[in-house]
Structure 1
Amino acid sequence: MKLILTQEVTGLGAPGDVVEVKDGYGRNYLVPRGLATAWSKGGEKQVASIRKARQAREIATLEEAQKVRDSLEAKPVRLAVKAGQSGRLFGAVTPADVASAIESTNGSKVDRRKVELTGAIKNTGEYTVHVRLHPEVQAKVKLAVVAG
Protein backbone atom coordinates (compact mmCIF):
# COMPACT_ATOMS: atom_id res chain seq x y z
CA MET A 1 0.00 0.00 0.00
CA LYS A 2 1.40 3.38 -1.00
CA LEU A 3 0.76 6.25 1.45
CA ILE A 4 1.72 9.87 1.99
CA LEU A 5 2.78 10.58 5.58
CA THR A 6 1.11 13.62 7.13
CA GLN A 7 3.01 13.41 10.43
CA GLU A 8 6.35 11.99 11.46
CA VAL A 9 6.33 8.27 12.21
CA THR A 10 9.43 7.00 14.00
CA GLY A 11 11.22 4.42 11.91
CA LEU A 12 9.11 5.08 8.82
CA GLY A 13 9.52 8.67 7.66
CA ALA A 14 8.74 12.36 7.95
CA PRO A 15 5.72 14.36 6.83
CA GLY A 16 5.46 14.52 3.06
CA ASP A 17 7.30 11.25 2.45
CA VAL A 18 5.71 8.71 0.13
CA VAL A 19 6.11 5.26 1.71
CA GLU A 20 5.20 1.70 0.83
CA VAL A 21 3.75 -0.25 3.80
CA LYS A 22 1.83 -3.46 4.36
CA ASP A 23 -1.90 -3.13 3.74
CA GLY A 24 -2.95 -3.89 7.33
CA TYR A 25 -0.49 -1.42 8.87
CA GLY A 26 -1.70 1.36 6.61
CA ARG A 27 -5.41 0.57 6.78
CA ASN A 28 -5.61 -0.21 10.52
CA TYR A 29 -3.01 2.09 12.08
CA LEU A 30 -1.64 4.92 9.93
CA VAL A 31 -4.78 6.15 8.14
CA PRO A 32 -7.25 6.00 11.09
CA ARG A 33 -4.84 7.91 13.35
CA GLY A 34 -4.32 10.62 10.73
CA LEU A 35 -0.63 9.83 10.32
CA ALA A 36 -0.99 9.17 6.58
CA THR A 37 -3.34 9.54 3.63
CA ALA A 38 -3.78 7.37 0.58
CA TRP A 39 -1.41 8.11 -2.28
CA SER A 40 -2.81 9.44 -5.54
CA LYS A 41 -1.51 11.43 -8.47
CA GLY A 42 -3.29 14.50 -7.13
CA GLY A 43 -1.62 13.90 -3.79
CA GLU A 44 1.71 15.05 -5.19
CA LYS A 45 0.55 18.67 -4.70
CA GLN A 46 -0.25 17.80 -1.10
CA VAL A 47 3.25 16.37 -0.67
CA ALA A 48 4.80 19.63 -1.83
CA SER A 49 2.75 21.72 0.62
CA ILE A 50 3.51 19.35 3.53
CA ARG A 51 7.24 19.51 2.81
CA LYS A 52 7.17 23.29 2.58
CA ALA A 53 5.39 23.57 5.95
CA ARG A 54 7.83 21.09 7.50
CA GLN A 55 10.85 23.07 6.31
CA ALA A 56 9.41 26.24 7.86
CA ARG A 57 9.02 24.50 11.26
CA GLU A 58 12.25 22.53 11.40
CA ILE A 59 15.66 23.56 12.62
CA ALA A 60 17.62 24.27 9.47
CA THR A 61 21.19 23.21 10.18
CA LEU A 62 22.91 20.47 12.11
CA GLU A 63 25.00 22.98 14.09
CA GLU A 64 21.92 24.88 15.18
CA ALA A 65 20.24 21.64 16.27
CA GLN A 66 23.31 20.70 18.31
CA LYS A 67 23.27 24.09 20.07
CA VAL A 68 19.58 23.67 20.93
CA ARG A 69 20.30 20.12 22.16
CA ASP A 70 23.09 21.37 24.45
CA SER A 71 20.84 24.07 25.92
CA LEU A 72 17.99 21.59 26.49
CA GLU A 73 20.21 18.99 28.15
CA ALA A 74 21.97 21.53 30.38
CA LYS A 75 18.89 22.54 32.36
CA PRO A 76 16.35 20.09 33.83
CA VAL A 77 12.69 20.82 33.11
CA ARG A 78 10.21 21.04 35.97
CA LEU A 79 6.55 20.26 35.31
CA ALA A 80 3.97 20.92 38.04
CA VAL A 81 0.81 18.82 37.75
CA LYS A 82 -2.14 17.90 39.93
CA ALA A 83 -1.41 14.77 41.95
CA GLY A 84 -2.80 12.87 44.90
CA GLN A 85 -1.00 12.36 48.19
CA SER A 86 0.56 9.10 47.01
CA GLY A 87 2.16 10.85 44.01
CA ARG A 88 -0.29 9.45 41.46
CA LEU A 89 -1.31 12.04 38.85
CA PHE A 90 -4.86 13.00 37.97
CA GLY A 91 -4.48 12.03 34.31
CA ALA A 92 -1.15 11.69 32.53
CA VAL A 93 1.62 13.90 31.18
CA THR A 94 1.28 14.45 27.43
CA PRO A 95 3.91 15.49 24.86
CA ALA A 96 2.16 18.88 24.62
CA ASP A 97 2.63 19.37 28.39
CA VAL A 98 6.33 18.55 28.06
CA ALA A 99 6.75 20.90 25.07
CA SER A 100 5.15 23.82 26.94
CA ALA A 101 7.29 23.11 30.04
CA ILE A 102 10.45 23.09 27.88
CA GLU A 103 9.44 26.39 26.32
CA SER A 104 8.77 28.04 29.68
CA THR A 105 12.01 26.71 31.21
CA ASN A 106 14.55 27.11 28.41
CA GLY A 107 12.80 29.47 26.01
CA SER A 108 13.34 26.97 23.18
CA LYS A 109 10.19 26.33 21.19
CA VAL A 110 9.73 22.59 20.63
CA ASP A 111 7.01 21.02 18.52
CA ARG A 112 4.89 18.59 20.55
CA ARG A 113 5.15 16.04 17.73
CA LYS A 114 8.92 15.91 18.23
CA VAL A 115 8.61 14.88 21.91
CA GLU A 116 8.81 11.12 22.50
CA LEU A 117 7.61 9.65 25.79
CA THR A 118 8.82 6.09 26.40
CA GLY A 119 5.71 5.23 28.40
CA ALA A 120 2.76 6.89 30.09
CA ILE A 121 3.87 9.26 32.86
CA LYS A 122 1.29 8.84 35.62
CA ASN A 123 3.38 9.39 38.76
CA THR A 124 5.54 12.18 40.13
CA GLY A 125 9.28 11.69 39.80
CA GLU A 126 12.26 12.06 37.49
CA TYR A 127 11.98 10.97 33.85
CA THR A 128 14.08 11.19 30.69
CA VAL A 129 12.26 12.44 27.59
CA HIS A 130 13.65 12.30 24.05
CA VAL A 131 13.18 15.28 21.72
CA ARG A 132 13.94 14.88 18.00
CA LEU A 133 15.43 18.18 16.87
CA HIS A 134 16.92 17.08 13.55
CA PRO A 135 17.12 13.73 11.74
CA GLU A 136 20.62 13.29 13.19
CA VAL A 137 20.19 15.08 16.54
CA GLN A 138 18.13 13.90 19.49
CA ALA A 139 18.11 15.58 22.91
CA LYS A 140 17.64 13.74 26.20
CA VAL A 141 15.77 16.12 28.48
CA LYS A 142 15.54 15.48 32.22
CA LEU A 143 11.93 16.00 33.31
CA ALA A 144 10.97 16.43 36.96
CA VAL A 145 7.24 15.87 37.44
CA VAL A 146 6.16 17.41 40.75
CA ALA A 147 2.83 17.87 42.49
CA GLY A 148 1.64 21.41 42.21
Structure 2
Amino acid sequence: MEVILKEDVVKLGHRGDVVKVADGYGRNYLLPGKLAIEATAANKAVIDQMKASAVRKSVKEKGAAEDLAKQISAVELTFERKVGENEQLFGSVTSGDIAQGLEAQGFTVDRRKISLEEPLRSLGEFHVPVKLYREVTAHVKVTIKSDAPDEVAAAPAA
Protein backbone atom coordinates (compact mmCIF):
# COMPACT_ATOMS: atom_id res chain seq x y z
CA MET A 1 0.00 0.00 0.00
CA GLU A 2 1.31 3.46 -0.88
CA VAL A 3 0.51 6.39 1.40
CA ILE A 4 1.38 10.08 1.54
CA LEU A 5 2.61 11.13 4.98
CA LYS A 6 0.81 14.12 6.51
CA GLU A 7 3.19 14.27 9.49
CA ASP A 8 6.74 13.14 10.22
CA VAL A 9 6.74 9.47 11.27
CA VAL A 10 9.84 8.13 13.01
CA LYS A 11 11.76 5.53 10.97
CA LEU A 12 9.33 5.93 8.05
CA GLY A 13 9.62 9.37 6.50
CA HIS A 14 8.88 13.07 6.62
CA ARG A 15 5.76 15.08 5.90
CA GLY A 16 4.84 14.90 2.20
CA ASP A 17 6.80 11.73 1.39
CA VAL A 18 5.16 8.94 -0.60
CA VAL A 19 6.08 5.68 1.11
CA LYS A 20 5.18 2.05 0.66
CA VAL A 21 3.95 0.37 3.86
CA ALA A 22 2.32 -2.90 4.84
CA ASP A 23 -1.45 -2.89 4.33
CA GLY A 24 -2.22 -3.44 8.02
CA TYR A 25 0.16 -0.71 9.20
CA GLY A 26 -1.38 1.80 6.83
CA ARG A 27 -5.00 0.77 7.40
CA ASN A 28 -4.83 0.31 11.19
CA TYR A 29 -2.33 2.96 12.30
CA LEU A 30 -1.41 5.63 9.74
CA LEU A 31 -4.81 6.33 8.19
CA PRO A 32 -6.97 6.37 11.39
CA GLY A 33 -4.31 8.43 13.19
CA LYS A 34 -4.47 11.03 10.40
CA LEU A 35 -0.73 10.57 9.90
CA ALA A 36 -1.14 9.67 6.23
CA ILE A 37 -3.59 9.60 3.32
CA GLU A 38 -3.85 7.02 0.55
CA ALA A 39 -1.68 7.76 -2.47
CA THR A 40 -4.42 8.00 -5.11
CA ALA A 41 -4.15 10.07 -8.29
CA ALA A 42 -6.20 12.89 -6.77
CA ASN A 43 -4.16 12.91 -3.56
CA LYS A 44 -0.90 12.92 -5.52
CA ALA A 45 -2.07 16.14 -7.18
CA VAL A 46 -2.51 17.69 -3.73
CA ILE A 47 0.95 16.56 -2.59
CA ASP A 48 2.71 19.50 -4.27
CA GLN A 49 0.64 21.96 -2.25
CA MET A 50 1.35 19.98 0.92
CA LYS A 51 5.10 19.95 0.23
CA ALA A 52 5.20 23.71 -0.34
CA SER A 53 3.25 24.25 2.86
CA ALA A 54 5.53 21.83 4.71
CA VAL A 55 8.65 23.65 3.52
CA ARG A 56 7.28 27.00 4.72
CA LYS A 57 6.27 25.50 8.06
CA SER A 58 9.64 23.74 8.44
CA VAL A 59 11.59 26.95 7.81
CA LYS A 60 9.46 28.80 10.35
CA GLU A 61 9.82 26.03 12.98
CA LYS A 62 13.58 25.78 12.41
CA GLY A 63 13.99 29.55 12.83
CA ALA A 64 12.03 29.47 16.08
CA ALA A 65 14.09 26.49 17.28
CA GLU A 66 17.37 28.30 16.48
CA ASP A 67 16.24 31.35 18.47
CA LEU A 68 15.24 29.12 21.39
CA ALA A 69 18.60 27.29 21.15
CA LYS A 70 20.50 30.58 21.57
CA GLN A 71 18.45 31.43 24.65
CA ILE A 72 18.71 27.95 26.18
CA SER A 73 22.49 27.76 25.60
CA ALA A 74 22.91 30.74 27.94
CA VAL A 75 21.00 28.97 30.75
CA GLU A 76 22.85 27.37 33.64
CA LEU A 77 20.96 25.01 35.94
CA THR A 78 22.16 24.15 39.44
CA PHE A 79 20.88 21.17 41.42
CA GLU A 80 21.64 20.39 45.04
CA ARG A 81 21.52 16.73 46.03
CA LYS A 82 22.48 14.60 49.02
CA VAL A 83 25.93 13.12 48.62
CA GLY A 84 27.48 10.01 50.14
CA GLU A 85 31.09 8.94 50.25
CA ASN A 86 33.25 9.39 47.13
CA GLU A 87 30.95 12.21 46.01
CA GLN A 88 28.28 9.79 44.76
CA LEU A 89 24.72 11.10 44.76
CA PHE A 90 22.03 9.26 46.70
CA GLY A 91 19.61 10.12 43.92
CA SER A 92 20.29 11.32 40.41
CA VAL A 93 19.50 14.21 38.09
CA THR A 94 17.25 13.02 35.27
CA SER A 95 15.97 14.56 32.06
CA GLY A 96 12.70 15.27 33.92
CA ASP A 97 14.60 17.30 36.52
CA ILE A 98 16.36 19.27 33.79
CA ALA A 99 13.03 19.90 32.01
CA GLN A 100 11.54 21.22 35.28
CA GLY A 101 14.59 23.43 35.79
CA LEU A 102 14.21 24.85 32.29
CA GLU A 103 10.49 25.40 32.88
CA ALA A 104 11.29 27.34 36.07
CA GLN A 105 13.54 29.56 33.89
CA GLY A 106 10.63 30.14 31.48
CA PHE A 107 11.45 27.60 28.74
CA THR A 108 8.98 24.85 27.88
CA VAL A 109 10.93 21.80 26.66
CA ASP A 110 9.64 18.24 26.50
CA ARG A 111 11.82 15.95 28.64
CA ARG A 112 12.08 13.49 25.75
CA LYS A 113 14.02 16.10 23.77
CA ILE A 114 16.73 16.19 26.43
CA SER A 115 19.41 13.78 25.21
CA LEU A 116 20.60 12.33 28.48
CA GLU A 117 21.84 8.80 27.88
CA GLU A 118 21.70 7.96 31.59
CA PRO A 119 20.90 10.03 34.70
CA LEU A 120 23.68 12.17 36.17
CA ARG A 121 24.94 10.51 39.38
CA SER A 122 28.00 12.50 40.43
CA LEU A 123 28.94 16.04 41.41
CA GLY A 124 30.31 18.44 38.83
CA GLU A 125 29.48 20.34 35.67
CA PHE A 126 27.84 18.70 32.68
CA HIS A 127 26.81 19.96 29.26
CA VAL A 128 23.53 18.28 28.35
CA PRO A 129 22.31 18.40 24.72
CA VAL A 130 18.69 19.37 24.06
CA LYS A 131 17.43 18.42 20.59
CA LEU A 132 14.95 21.15 19.66
CA TYR A 133 14.51 20.38 15.96
CA ARG A 134 15.98 18.07 13.31
CA GLU A 135 19.30 19.92 12.92
CA VAL A 136 19.03 22.25 15.93
CA THR A 137 20.59 21.20 19.24
CA ALA A 138 21.26 23.43 22.25
CA HIS A 139 23.54 22.60 25.18
CA VAL A 140 22.48 23.35 28.76
CA LYS A 141 25.11 23.69 31.46
CA VAL A 142 24.07 21.60 34.47
CA THR A 143 25.93 21.92 37.78
CA ILE A 144 25.36 19.42 40.57
CA LYS A 145 26.40 20.46 44.08
CA SER A 146 26.17 18.88 47.50
CA ASP A 147 23.29 20.15 49.64
CA ALA A 148 25.27 19.55 52.87
CA PRO A 149 26.92 22.60 54.49
CA ASP A 150 30.64 22.76 53.81
CA GLU A 151 31.66 21.32 57.20
CA VAL A 152 34.71 19.60 55.72
CA ALA A 153 35.97 22.87 54.23
CA ALA A 154 35.42 24.77 57.52
CA ALA A 155 37.25 22.18 59.69
CA PRO A 156 40.84 22.74 58.37
CA ALA A 157 40.47 26.53 58.66
CA ALA A 158 39.69 26.31 62.41
Give the TM-score, by structure 2 length: 0.57
Matched ranges for 1:126-145 at <5 A = 126-145=125-144
Matched ranges for 1:1-148 at <5 A = 16-17=9-10, 19=12, 39=25, 41-44=27-30, 45-46=32-33, 48=35, 61-84=61-84, 86-104=86-104, 106-148=105-147
1:121 & 1:47 partners in 2: Cα distance? 38
**How far does residue 84 in structure 1 lie from its aligned partner after superposition?**
2.3
1:119 & 1:75 partners in 2: Cα distance? 21
1:18 & 1:69 partners in 2: Cα distance? 25
Q: Which runs of 5+ in 2 are unaligned?
A: 1-6, 14-23, 37-59, 148-158
Which one has the largest radius of gyration? Answer: 2
Q: Which runs of 5+ in 1 are unaligned?
A: 1-13, 21-37, 50-59
2:144 & 2:25 partners in 1: Cα distance? 41
Question: What letter is aligned with 2:106?
Answer: G
Q: CA RMSD in A?
A: 2.7
| Paired-residue identity, % | 27
| Distance verdict in 2 for CA 1:122–1:47, change over 3 Å | farther
Larger RCO, structures 1/2 (Cα 8 Å, 6+ apart): 1
2:118 & 2:129 partners in 1: Cα distance? 11
Assess if the C-alpha contact under 8 Å between 2:81 and 2:91 holds in 1: no
| Distance verdict in 2 for CA 1:88–1:15, change over 3 Å | farther
Q: Secondary structure at the match of 1:46?
A: coil
1:18 & 1:39 partners in 2: Cα distance? 13
Instruction: Kindly indicate which of the two structures has a greater share of residues assigned to helix.
Output: 2
